[in-house]
């Protein structure tokens, strides 16, 4: 499927997450220009595609006109491509709520210990930590 300065291939994914890859041929352009196109692709995919893309594999091929686009036109062409994806790969509604934090994370540096957060009395400030220097095991 062609959309503006890009050609897309879409297929079912064996994973439960979307995967996006890109092909940026030289087309008689140098590495600086090719890397600029790749950076722009990465940014648009990260911000606009991954939050709404269902589990599928997408390969985006940049065509020669992609080298001459400014960022706004680049995004516009990729948005058109996203809207034109086939039915089963069409974008889903995005959720604006951030993912919940895992519960088994270690406390941040300087944060009170888990026992103190759960209601156990915290040691007075300035007191040596339990099991610290000068203590002996029973």
The pair of structure tokens assigned to 48 is: 């606009």
Pick 95 or 45 by higher pLDDT: 45
| Pairwise CA distance, residues 19 & 24, whole Å | 17
DSSP string for 81-99: HHHTS-GGGPPPPP--SPP
* Matching CATH number, 2-86, of 3.30.230.10, 3.90.79.10, 3.30.70.980, 3.20.20.120: 3.30.230.10
| % of the chain surpassing 90 pLDDT | 41
Alpha helices in the chain (DSSP H): 31-44, 71-83, 114-117
pLDDT digits (tens, 9 = 90+) for 2-38: 888 999 999 988 999 999 999 999 999 999 999 999 9
Pick 138 or 23 by higher pLDDT: 23
pLDDT digits (tens, 9 = 90+) for 60-81: 999 999 999 999 999 999 998 8
Place of tokens 């692709």: 41
């Amino acid at each position: 499927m062609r959309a503006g300065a890009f050609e897309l291939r879409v297929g079912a994914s064996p994973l439960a997450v979307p995967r996006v890859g890109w092909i940026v041929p030289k087309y008689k352009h140098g590495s600086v220009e090719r890397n600029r196109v790749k950076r722009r692709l990465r940014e648009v995919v990260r911000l606009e595609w991954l939050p709404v893309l269902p589990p599928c594999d997408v390969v985006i091929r940049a065509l020669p006109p992609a080298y001459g686009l400014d960022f706004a036109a680049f995004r516009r062409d990729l948005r058109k491509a996203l809207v034109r994806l086939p039915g089963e790969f069409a974008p889903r509604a995005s959720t604006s709520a951030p993912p919940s934090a895992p519960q088994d994370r270690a406390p941040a540096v300087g944060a009170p210990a888990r026992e103190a957060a759960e209601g156990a009395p915290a040691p007075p400030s300035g007191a040596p930590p339990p099991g610290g220097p000068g203590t002996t095991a029973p």
